[in-house]
């Protein structure tokens, strides 16, 4: 605290006490000195750059496999049997980049039929198989 020695004792003190301000600034300086080295990244990593020239304007559309309740299988809205599904998915598996296969099935379709279609896709080399469902109401 600052004390006034002598002078006008009845009036207000006109000097500002900067000691608490200096104390706070020193504490903040010490905190920043301790935390500044922690903010720097220790491990330097060279990130890969995207090559947009490899795939200009190419639209990645997924291949759709639809399975009806009675077991009918459709590949991109064209009815196929299991053998032709295997051969057409094998052709799709050879494409670069490989498209995703989306499986849509009726809610009452037997799981065995859906499982055989997914297994066929995996056997021919399709890496990404997804399931399409409607949102809950």
108 lies in a domain? yes
| CATH code, domain carrying 122 | 3.30.420.270
What mean pLDDT, rounded, does the chain reach?
82
Domain extent at residue 93: 52-131
The confidence score (pLDDT) of residue 109 equals 87
**Residues of the chain above pLDDT 70, percent:** 77
1 lies in a domain? no
DSSP code for 13: P
Taking the C-alpha atoms of residue 76 and residue 64, their distance in angstroms, rounded to an integer, is 5
Taking the C-alpha atoms of residue 77 and residue 128, their distance in angstroms, rounded to an integer, is 20
Mean pLDDT to the nearest integer, 27-49: 78
pTM for the full model?
A: 0.54
Taking the C-alpha atoms of residue 118 and residue 98, their distance in angstroms, rounded to an integer, is 16
């Amino acid at each position: 605290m600052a004390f006034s020695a002598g002078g006008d004792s009845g009036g207000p003190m006109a000097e500002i006490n900067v000691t608490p301000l200096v104390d706070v600034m020193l504490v903040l300086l010490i905190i920043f000195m301790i935390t500044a080295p922690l903010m720097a990244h220790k491990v330097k990593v060279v990130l890969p750059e995207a090559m947009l020239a490899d795939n200009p304007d190419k639209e990645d559309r997924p291949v759709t496999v639809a399975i009806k309740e009675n077991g009918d299988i459709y590949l991109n809205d064209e009815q196929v049997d299991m053998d032709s599904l295997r051969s057409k998915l094998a052709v799709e598996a050879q494409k670069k980049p490989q498209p995703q296969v989306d499986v849509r099935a009726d809610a009452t379709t037997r799981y065995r039929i859906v499982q055989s279609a997914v297994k066929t896709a995996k056997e021919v080399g399709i890496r990404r198989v997804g399931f399409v469902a409607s949102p809950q109401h």
